[in-house]
Amino acid sequence: MPISVTLAAMDAILTPAQQSARDAALAFARHELTNVAIDPVFDRAGWDTCRAIGATGVTIPQEHGGGGQSLAEFVAMMEGLGHGCRRMGLLTAICAHVFGVVEPLHAAGTEDQKTRYLRKLATGEWVGAHGVTEPQAGSDLTGITTTAVADGDDWIISGVKRYTTCGAGADLHVVYARMDDPDRFRLSCFLVEAGATGLTVRQLPAAGLAGSGLSEVTYDAVRVPGCNMLGRPGAAAMLFQGSIERERACIFGASLGAMEREIELAVTYANDRHVGGKAIAGHQAVSHRIADMKVRLDAARLLLYRVTALKAAGRRAPMEAAVAKLFISDAFVANSLDLIRIHGGNGFVTEGGVEGYLRDSLGGIIFSGTNDIQRNIIAGCLGLRG
C-alpha cells in the first residue's frame, strides 16, 4: 500500500480540528524548522520559531497569552511537528514547559502570579523548567530532600534537582521542596526566577534529545518571597500528580510523528536499495520489519488519543496514561532499532542521521516515570498488591 494511503487511513481517528492542527504543524515544521541550527545545550532558535504557532501555550486561554485550544489539538500539533522535523529535544522541551510549568501555573496560580508570569510563559517569551527529580529521588516523591524553610515572609530553598528539562534555558523554575516539618511529609511548590542568588545550572550532555536544556539545578539557600509559593502550603504532591498524569498521557505526540517519518524513510530506503539486482523491499525480512513498525504506530496512536480524550474531558486516567506511556515509548525504541537494521551500515554511521532517532527515543523510556514504574502503576490499578 502506498505510504500516502497508509497515512490517510491513520487520519480517520482525528477530528477535523485535530487534523487541521497536525497538518498545519507538519507544513510549518518542514518549512521553518528543518534548516534552523540546533544549539545542543538549549534550542532557543527553534523555540523562538515555534512561538509563531503558539506551541508554548496552546491550551492556555487567550486572555493569558495562550491559544485557547484543546489538549487534543496540542497533541495533534506536536505530532505534526514531530513528523516534519528532527528536533525531538526541542519538542520535548516544549512539552515539559507546557505540562510542568504553564498548565500548573494556570491551574493553581494566584492572579498576581498569573499577571507576573503566565503571559510570558504562554507566549514563549519566557522558558519554564520543572524541578522534581533529584540525584537520589525520581518517581518516589517522599525521597525528595530539597527543603523549604520559612524565614519571615520568605522561604529558603536548599537542594539539588537533576534531569531538569529546559533548565539550561529557563527564565523561571518551578521547584518542589519539602517543608521543614519533622512530624510529617509536606511538599510545597515554588516559583523561582533565573538569576536568583544561590541558583546555579549545570547542563547535562545526554545521548539524545539535543537542545532540550537537560540540566542539574542547585539551590544554595535561595531566598524566595512567600508570594511565589504555587498552590497551598503542603499541597504540592497533588499538584504534581495532576501535572505528571497529564504529561505522561500526552507528551508522546511528537514521538508518533517521528515514528511516521521513520516508516517513510524505511519504505523509501527499502525500495531504493538494491542488492544482487533486487530491491531489499522484496525480502520478507525487510518488508515484515516495516509492517511491524506500522502495527506499532497504529496501536500507539489509538492509545495516545484515547487517553488524550479522557484528560481533555477532565477525567482521571492513571492506568490509561501509564499504558500509553509504556507502549508508545517502547514502540518508538523498537521502530528506531528496526529503521537502523533496515539501513544496515548506513544506519549505524552518523552522517545519514538515521541513528539519531534511536538516541532520541531512549529518553522516552525514562522520563515522566520509567517504564518499570508504569508497570507498577498498571499492576496497582488492576488490584495487584505486594
Q: What is the pLDDT of residue 184?
A: 83
- Supply the DSSP string of 146-187, one letter for each residue: -EEEEETTEEEEEEEEEEETTGGG-SEEEEEEEES-TTS--E
Torsion sign across C-alpha atoms 375, 380, 385, 386: positive
The span from the CA of 155 to the CA of 133, in Å, is 20
Looking at every residue in the chain, the average pLDDT score rounds to 94
pLDDT for the residue numbered 185: 87
Contacts of 289 (CB under 8 A, 6+ apart): 266, 338, 341, 342
Pick the closest to residue 122 from 102, 92, 101 (CA basis). 102
Q: Are 295 and 289 in contact (CB under 8 A)?
A: no
Q: Is 242 exposed, middle or buried (0-12, 13-18, 19+ CB in 10 A)?
A: middle
- Domain spans in the chain, listed from the N-terminal domain onward: 3-127, 129-234, 240-381
pLDDT at site 59: 96
Fold classification of 240-381 (topology level): Butyryl-CoA Dehydrogenase, subunit A; domain 3 (1.20.140)
CB contact set of 378 (below 8 Å; sequence gap of 6+): 319, 322, 323, 326
pLDDT at residue 40 in the model: 96
pLDDT in tens, 332-382: 999 999 999 999 999 999 988 899 999 999 999 999 999 999 999 999 999
Q: Looking at the predicted structure, is the pLDDT value of residue 282 above 80?
A: yes
Instruction: pLDDT band for 11, please (50, 70, 90 cuts).
Output: low
CATH of region 129-234, choose from 2.60.260.20, 3.30.56.10, 3.30.300.30, 2.40.110.10: 2.40.110.10
pLDDT value of residue 170: 98
Residue that has been written with the C-alpha cell 477532565 in this structure: 314
Residue 8: band (very low, low, confident or very high) from pLDDT cuts 50, 70, 90: very low
pLDDT in tens, 20-77: 999 999 999 999 999 888 999 999 999 999 999 999 999 999 999 999 999 999 999 9
Query: What confidence tens digit (pLDDT) does each residue in 84-134 have?
Result: 999 999 999 999 999 999 999 999 999 999 999 999 999 999 999 999 999
Residues 308-323: pLDDT tens digits? 999 999 999 999 999 9
Catalytic residue, candidates 79, 216, 247, 355: 247
Give the Cα separation of 324 and 6 in Å (integer): 22
- For the 3-127 domain, the top CATH level (class) is mainly alpha
Query: For this structure, is 245 an active site residue?
Result: no
